[in-house]
Amino acid sequence: MRIALSCLIILIFQAPLTSWGQQNLFNVPSSVLTEKQELFIQEQINNYSDLMGSNLTATYGIGKDYEVGLNFLGIDYMKDSRL
């Protein structure tokens, strides 16, 4: 147990100061179905050094355990520009 803990501590302190991440490619906003005539909206904003990125998911319940949705992915805004 002590060897495993020692290896974990060494690994944590040897980790690089910068890291990379990956955005999910398949967006499932909720495991619960959207009820008939109900609307579900999810917004995700990513903050980068020189711009901001936005991902929007909208789902509408059409009944009988069905729903339709739209994804607007990769909408970028420059930070120094005015809206």
Q: What is the pLDDT of residue 31?
A: 72
Domain total of the chain: 1
- What integer pLDDT is reported at residue 37 of this predicted model? 92
In the prediction, which pLDDT does 55 show? Answer: 85
**Measured in Å, how far apart are the chain's first and last C-alpha atoms?**
56
70 within domain boundaries: yes
- Establish if 67 belongs to a structural domain: yes
Q: Is 5 within the bounds of a domain?
A: no
Q: How would you class 18 by CB atoms within 10 Å of its CB: exposed for 0-12, middle for 13-18, buried for 19 or more?
A: exposed
**Would you report the helix, strand and coil content of the chain in percent, each value rounded to 5?**
15, 45, 40
pLDDT of residue 76: 80
pLDDT at 62: 93
- Whether 19 is covered by a domain: the verdict is no
Counting as low any pLDDT under 50, the low residues of the chain are none
Cβ-contact 42, 69 below 8 angstroms: no
pLDDT of residue 60: 92
